[in-house]
Amino acid sequence: MSRVGNNPVAVPDGVTVEIIDSILNVKGKLGQQSLTISDEVQVTLDENIVSISPKSKTKQSRSMWGTTRARINNMLIGVNEGFTVDLEINGVGYRAAVEGRDLVLALGYSHPVRYAIPEGVNMKCERPTAISIHGSDKQQVGQLASEIRAYRPPEPFKGKGIKYAHETIRRKEGKKK
The DSSP secondary-structure symbol of 147 reads H
Residue range 39-95, pLDDT digits in tens: 888 888 888 888 888 888 888 888 888 888 889 899 999 998 899 999 999 989 999
Same domain for 98 and 43?
Answer: no
Same domain for 26 and 37?
Answer: yes
* Domain C-terminal end among 80, 97, 118: 80
**Count of domains for the chain:** 2
CATH of the domain at 147: 3.90.930.12
Euclidean distance between CA atoms 101 and 4, whole angstroms: 38
pLDDT band of residue 1 (cuts 50, 70, 90) is low
Q: What is the mean pLDDT of the chain?
A: 88
Q: Look up the domain containing 153 and give its range.
A: 83-164
pTM of the model: 0.84
Same domain for 51 and 13?
Answer: yes
